[in-house]
Amino acid sequence: MWKCLSLGCALAATALAQNPPSQLELANLREDVRGLIQRVGELTLRLEQLERENADLRARTKAADKSYASLAQLNEAIADLNRNIRTAVAASKTETLQQVAAQLEKLAKQTNAALDSLAKAQASRPAVQASFADNYSKEGVSYTVQKGDTIAVIAKKTGAKQQDIINANKIADPSHITIGQTLFIPGGK
Residue 15 inside a domain? The answer is yes
186: enclosing H helix or E strand: strand 182-186
pLDDT digits (tens, 9 = 90+) for 39-92: 999 999 999 999 999 999 988 887 765 666 678 888 999 999 999 999 999 999
CA-nearest of 164, 42, 35, 56 to 100 is: 35
Residue 38 inside a domain? The answer is yes
Residue 22 inside a domain? The answer is yes
CA-nearest of 110, 52, 54 to 77 is: 54
Q: Show the domain range for 165.
A: 140-186
Domain end among 123, 149, 175: 123
Same structural domain, 59 and 151: no
Residue 129 inside a domain? The answer is no
pLDDT digits (tens, 9 = 90+) for 80-101: 999 999 999 999 999 999 999 9
CA-nearest of 133, 134, 129, 183 to 154 is: 183
